[in-house]
Amino acid sequence: MNPTRIAAFLIVAFLSGAFCAAVDWATADPMPSVESPAAGGNVVTISRGRAYLFRGFAGVLFSRGTDRLAERIEKAGFPATVNEAVMCSSVAKEAISDYRRDPAPIVLIGHSVGGACAVNFAGSLKAENIPVSLLVTSDPARITGDVPLNVERFINIFQSNSLLGGIYVPPGQGYRGHYASYDLVEHSEITHVNMEKTETIQDQLVTKIQQLSTLPKSEGETVPLYYVVPADAPIELWDSGMSVFVHADATLAMLAAQYHVPLWSIAQINRVSEGASLTAGQRIVVPRHLNPPTASNDGAVSTQTPPKR
């Protein structure tokens, strides 16, 4: 097939995908809800939230992992729609209307140019003072903007050597939410095309979405995370970092054991060697999940405030 025919085929496929996504979204069943007994025997309707997923360019061909992820999110009890990036503005308008009618947690997930769309989508919600509970981008396109301040929890998964994505998405000035950016450049088994299809990544995202209604209120300092995941390390999506202040005789290995995180992660985040000496009261950033708590109570070697000397 000559290049002209290939280009024509991709354009038709892209437009067809956008049309089908529009039909699917417009005819989707109303958002399900659950009923819970309230005081006095009344029933309170609790919305389960909404997830909006966006494919990359020609996503009907290449971003099918997004469809699989949406199916898994739906199965977990969280309504989800899959859209083409060209529909971003129209879907955002509908999301604003839905939120005004029935406020519920909003999740945005986008791959490639769909990642840029998801960030823009969040910006549209910010203009309406609507929060975004979770925003996830996978190898977002280089046109992607900064993370808006209304995003409570942001995760970026990318490869810095990718020609189609490969962008680090910075938090907007004054950002206070949970932030974590993962560079998978050393994971050669993952590419721009299969990143959003990767099972272990999807598993963790579904779990995070299920936890949204049970997360405790954020307390204390939120430290942004950015690092390169080693080739021989599993991809674990922490939500952000937290500061701890070490006691005398503490080591990074002791901290790693206490907070159940790999030693390399603490060393890389703090830009020290794994065997680096620590001093009493030194601030160390440790990666964390928002739920469940990371630290054990046994053999504590750090505190949330600088220890007295």
Position 139 scores a pLDDT of: 94
- Which residue matches tokens 């729609």? 81
Position 8 scores a pLDDT of: 37
Report the pLDDT averaged over residues 243-270. 95
Cα-based angle 221, 222, 223 (whole degrees, multiple of 5): 115
Measured CA to CA in angstroms, residue 210 lies from 49, 99, 131, 218 at distances of 10, 19, 17, 17
Highest mean pLDDT among 20-29, 44-53, 82-91, 265-274: 265-274
Contact predicate 85/56, CB 8 Å: yes
Position 219 scores a pLDDT of: 57
Confidence of residue 49 (pLDDT cuts 50, 70, 90): confident
Confidence of residue 290 (pLDDT cuts 50, 70, 90): confident
Position 5 scores a pLDDT of: 40
Report the pLDDT averaged over residues 187-208. 94
Residue range 240-303, CATH number: 3.10.350.10
> Using the 8-state DSSP alphabet, how is residue 189 labeled?
T
Contact predicate 83/67, CB 8 Å: no
**pLDDT tens digits, 13-40:** 333 343 333 333 333 343 344 333 333 3
Residue 244 predicted with pLDDT over 80? yes
Instruction: Tell me how far apart the 2 most distant CA atoms of the chain are, in Å.
Output: 74
Kindly give the residue spans of alpha helices, DSSP state H, lying in the chain: 3-26, 59-62, 64-75, 88-101, 113-127, 199-211, 252-259, 263-270
107-111, 231-235, 297-301: least confident range: 297-301
Measured CA to CA in angstroms, residue 107 lies from 51, 79, 119, 266, 301 at distances of 4, 10, 11, 29, 36
CA–CA gap between residue 200 and residue 229 (Å, rounded):
14
Confidence of residue 302 (pLDDT cuts 50, 70, 90): low
> Using the 8-state DSSP alphabet, how is residue 181 labeled?
E
Q: 34: which strand partners?
A: 46
Residue range 47-228, CATH number: 3.40.50.1820
Residue 294 predicted with pLDDT over 90? no
Position 295 scores a pLDDT of: 54
Confidence of residue 218 (pLDDT cuts 50, 70, 90): low
List phi, psi (to 5°) of 98.
-65, -40
Position 212 scores a pLDDT of: 86
Measured CA to CA in angstroms, residue 56 lies from 14, 194, 197 at distances of 10, 12, 13
Position 301 scores a pLDDT of: 63
Domain boundaries, the chain: 47-228, 240-303
Residue 299 predicted with pLDDT over 70? no
